[in-house]
Amino acid sequence: MRTVANLIADRRDGIVQPYDDFVQLSSGAAGGTIPDYQLAAWLMAAYLKPLTLQETIDLTRAMAESGDKLDLRALPLPHVDKHSTGGVGDKATLIVLPILAASGVTCVKMSGRGLGITGGTIDKLESVPGFNTSLSPLQMVEQANRIGIALSGQSPALAPADKALYSLRDVTQTVGSVPLIVSSILSKKLAGGSKTIVLDVKCGSGAFMTGLKEARLLSNWLIQVGQALGLDCRVAISDMDQPLGAVGNALEVRQARKILSGEWVDPGTARVRELCLLLAGEALWAAGLCGDASEGYGKAQECLETGLAFKKASAWFAAQGGSLDAELPTAPNMMVLRATCSGWVSRIEAETVGRVVVNLGGGRMVKSDVIDPSVGVEVHRPVGEKVSVGDALFTIHSRDLAGLEEARKTLLSSIVVQEQPCGSPPLILDHDVSTF
Amino acid sequence: MRTVANLIADRRDGIVQPYDDFVQLSSGAAGGTIPDYQLAAWLMAAYLKPLTLQETIDLTRAMAESGDKLDLRALPLPHVDKHSTGGVGDKATLIVLPILAASGVTCVKMSGRGLGITGGTIDKLESVPGFNTSLSPLQMVEQANRIGIALSGQSPALAPADKALYSLRDVTQTVGSVPLIVSSILSKKLAGGSKTIVLDVKCGSGAFMTGLKEARLLSNWLIQVGQALGLDCRVAISDMDQPLGAVGNALEVRQARKILSGEWVDPGTARVRELCLLLAGEALWAAGLCGDASEGYGKAQECLETGLAFKKASAWFAAQGGSLDAELPTAPNMMVLRATCSGWVSRIEAETVGRVVVNLGGGRMVKSDVIDPSVGVEVHRPVGEKVSVGDALFTIHSRDLAGLEEARKTLLSSIVVQEQPCGSPPLILDHDVSTF
């Protein structure tokens, strides 16, 4: 075995590293036998001397092998996992998973918490009283076997190397490296057991990948690395220049419930619903339950409209100790921001809206921050919508009046209403599928 | 104040950092308020996106300001400090300092310990029974005032940022960066109070800078950064392709004593003596006690030959609790390696000899290793010497017979004796002086 110093020096000098190096790094990170400062130095070297495709495949495999793996063989086929690279207001998992499970797909999924402007599914679900987001691998498999769906926070036993490396990347400015992002995502997926994965790569001001070029690069690497590791990855690059509907944990669960129950009215919610149908369509196609994504879209729509998805979501929430009908926390102060001129919404900055919600207390700046699930911002009119004077643009939910006022000012600067009509930007900007 | 994340991201992206950033880093490193993993990430970024000259000046100043400074104003002028970048068998400080002090120069110096094949003056002096290498700043000034000379291990109160960063660089493969080397050396010198410094930049297989080009670059930066900070730096680039005489702590003190007392006989010791005279000549010139370095060389030679330097060294050793006449530890096993053919020594690999001594137990692989002061290798014939069959080439000093045998094999592979005469390589390869 080489010394850790050798591993760092080779990375620093841009020398291609063999699989064994990544095994050594991953097990050292997972077992705590390599000190953080050496891992941090390696990570910065890896940021500045990026891993090759083969190295990324090797690192991903090594991280997946650093702990246990979920064994899904006892579960009914097909299995599909879904992953989003993270954005502002992205609650698609809460709708897509019940649609899939109601359509006969087994969904066993691990999710994360939010950080900065990026939300996390676990935080959203924890706004539901009693919802248990910490299932053991055994509990997940048992529940998925029973109702076709199980979701939990990342198990410390699965891909522990990723957990250690990710928490270091977060504080050493080494998050934004495509090989490191890919290995982080896919090592968890590999350990999670599903062979088919629908990846929603977010692109825009509220996402990590702000431009389409970077998003395409990430997608392409996800496909290639996934394929080398036996994963059938389907990537949809979706728009994150504007927020995806409501932002704030309880508000997002409420919006998901409205979509599932069919009680939605505003154009903001319609846009979220549309993305969920597109992603579910991709997943049903990937699962082999239909001939193409548009047929899948139709099946997903039917599943929503017949209430089957709602029923499945109810069973899911109940199985994990919550209730889809539960009363969710509400913030004591509310304010509706209305249009002061007529025209068309031509821009809503996702990044700014995300920051407003963090400042209201609905997100974390550092991991140890405690979040308030009740606060947030509803976004009623997406880009492309016609508005008249007095139409509701945003609803702010805040703990205090000062927060309302601060949010109001910032939100007004985040939206542009113009006199000329402008089209709705597409929800899905691009696709990429592996050649399985 | 910016966040540590900002400082890391800017370094990573090659953005020039202002003085305040370096102050923040240095005080965070010194006070332990910035975690090691963030410092490590910054260091690797600084290795791969090297600091500019101005940034190096700023970092050096900030590290010097991170703790106390020695106040030498009460001491008789001139003051000169001497520093070597480290090599195999380099005991020059033990001879040069007494020469200078005996010539009327006040020498207050902090030295380090050895690591890997590079020896450290503190380790050498600790082979002398009773020698106290840990003087407080007050004790140093008092002793220098009384006898003109004081030497101690690095005080934790002076340039503490360097101590923290250096120990991290050592384990994160970020030692070999010219800006980081320069700031480490000069921050300690700046905190040490002397304004005039003779720097011995070692160059060759036994040194950090293996090529003349890199050694010249380092020298040039030392001069420029020193000048910007008010230091008069004189650099001599000296040969470290072959070891500088005996290697091993007690053996080196013995060789120094022979040079000081005039009892030397072998060509290996003559070569060490010659380098000491050259460096002392530089220093006497820098101190303004003579018109040029060659006049300084003559003064230094006189100081040695009249026994004044020996007397000063005796007073120095006594002042710090030791004795120049003390019995030094000896290893139980000894073996003389002799020439098996006649010819001229054309090569002795410093790096290999250094490694042999580390393996004998005379050096450290990691900081926590305990060293044996008694072991080592005497190098009797430097490159260029004519040897006849039976002439002593090396004397090995070992704790056990297995060590002797292993050292013997490796040493035989480290030396080349050729049939044709070859010249002695110059001791000083190049000079550089500031334009003060």
pLDDT at B116: 85
Letter for the amino acid at A407?
Answer: A
Pairing of strands B232-239, B428-433: antiparallel
Query: Are residues B93 and B111 in contact, defined by beta-carbon separation less than 8 angstroms?
Result: yes
pLDDT at B434: 59
The reported pTM is 0.90
Query: For this structure, is A169 an active site residue?
Result: yes
Nearest C-alpha in A relative to B10: A173
CA dihedral A18, A20, A25, A26 (to 10 degrees): 110
Q: Could you tell me where the beta strands, DSSP code E, fall in B289-400?
A: 333-338, 343-348, 376-379, 386-387, 392-398
Given A152, A184, A194, A434, which residue is catalytic? A184
Please give the Cα distance from B51 to B57 (Å, whole number). Answer: 9
pLDDT at A431: 86
Query: For this structure, is A213 an active site residue?
Result: no
* Minimal CA separation from B374 to chain A, in Å: 29
Tokens matching residue A127: 């706004």
Helix (H, G, I), strand (E, B) or coil at B368: coil
Name the percent of chain A in helix, strand, coil, to the closest 5. 45, 15, 35
Nearest C-alpha in A relative to B43: A41
For tokens 């503190």, the residue is B122
Which chain A residues are Cβ-neighbours of B39 within 8 angstroms?
A: 37
Pairing of strands A415-418, B333-338: unpaired
Size of interface A-B (CB pairs under 8 A): 78
Question: pLDDT per residue over A235-285, tens digit each?
Answer: 999 999 999 999 999 999 999 999 999 998 889 999 999 999 999 999 999
For helices A92-102 and A308-319, what crossing angle results, to 10°? Answer: 110
Query: For this structure, is B239 an active site residue?
Result: no
A40 and B CB contact within 8 Å: yes
- String of b and e for B392-429 (b: at least 16 CB within 10 Å)? ebbbbbbbeeebbebbeebbeebbebeeeebebeebbb
Which chain B residues are Cβ-neighbours of A171 within 8 angstroms?
A: 5, 35, 37-38
Please list, in sequence order, all residues whose beta carbon lies within 8 angstroms of the beta carbon of residue B307, skipping any fewer than 6 positions away. Answer: B261, B262
Task: Using alpha carbons, list the distances in angstroms from residue B201 to A7, A413, B218.
Answer: 29, 59, 8
Query: Are residues B408 and B396 in contact, defined by beta-carbon separation less than 8 angstroms?
Result: yes
Pairing of strands B80-84, A386-387: unpaired
- String of b and e for A13-25 (b: at least 16 CB within 10 Å)? eeeebeeebbbbb
Please give the Cα distance from B140 to B192 (Å, whole number). Answer: 11
The predicted model gives A74-89 an average pLDDT of 95
Please list, in sequence order, all residues whose beta carbon lies within 8 angstroms of the beta carbon of residue B6, skipping any fewer than 6 positions away. Answer: none
Nearest to A8 among B5, B12, B173 (CB): B173
pLDDT at B331: 97
Query: For this structure, is A79 an active site residue?
Result: no
Please give the Cα distance from B356 to B409 (Å, whole number). Answer: 10
B389 and A CB contact within 8 Å: no
Which chain B residues are Cβ-neighbours of A168 within 8 angstroms?
A: 37
Name the percent of chain B in helix, strand, coil, to the closest 5. 45, 15, 35
- ipTM, two decimals, is 0.89
B49 and A CB contact within 8 Å: yes
* Minimal CA separation from B115 to chain A, in Å: 15
Helix (H, G, I), strand (E, B) or coil at B37: helix
- Round the CA-based radius of gyration of chain A to a whole number and report it: 21
Please give the Cα distance from B183 to B63 (Å, whole number). Answer: 8
pLDDT at B435: 54
Which chain B residues are Cβ-neighbours of A43 within 8 angstroms?
A: 41
Please give the Cα distance from A344 to B367 (Å, whole number). Answer: 68
A47 and B CB contact within 8 Å: yes
Nearest to B36 among A12, A37, A174 (CB): A37
Task: Report the alpha-carbon angle A296-A298-A304, nearest 5.
Answer: 105
Query: Are residues A225 and A110 in contact, defined by beta-carbon separation less than 8 angstroms?
Result: no
pLDDT of chain B, 436 residues: tens digit per residue: 789 999 999 999 999 999 999 999 999 999 999 999 999 999 999 999 999 999 999 999 999 999 999 999 999 999 999 999 999 999 999 999 999 999 999 999 999 888 888 889 999 999 999 999 999 999 999 999 999 999 999 888 999 999 999 989 989 999 989 999 999 999 999 999 999 999 999 999 999 899 999 999 999 999 999 999 999 999 999 999 999 999 999 999 999 999 999 998 889 999 999 999 999 999 999 999 999 999 999 999 999 999 999 999 999 999 999 999 999 999 999 999 999 999 999 999 999 999 999 999 999 888 788 999 999 999 999 999 999 999 999 999 999 999 999 999 999 999 999 999 998 999 999 987 655 4
Closest to B392 measured CA to CA, from B332, B337, B329, B322: B337
- Asked, as a colleague might, if the bond just before B78 is cis with ω within 30 of 0, I would say yes
The predicted model gives A68-89 an average pLDDT of 94
Which chain A residues are Cβ-neighbours of B169 within 8 angstroms?
A: none
Tokens matching residue B307: 């026994």
Helix (H, G, I), strand (E, B) or coil at A231: coil
Tokens matching residue B71: 């106040």
Please list, in sequence order, all residues whose beta carbon lies within 8 angstroms of the beta carbon of residue B346, skipping any fewer than 6 positions away. Answer: B383, B416, B417, B418, B422
For helices B36-48 and B4-12, what crossing angle results, to 10°? Answer: 20
Query: Are residues A46 and A11 in contact, defined by beta-carbon separation less than 8 angstroms?
Result: yes
For tokens 């990429």, the residue is A432
Please give the Cα distance from B145 to A414 (Å, whole number). Answer: 69
pLDDT at B113: 87
Query: Are residues A231 and A116 in contact, defined by beta-carbon separation less than 8 angstroms?
Result: no
B165 and A CB contact within 8 Å: no
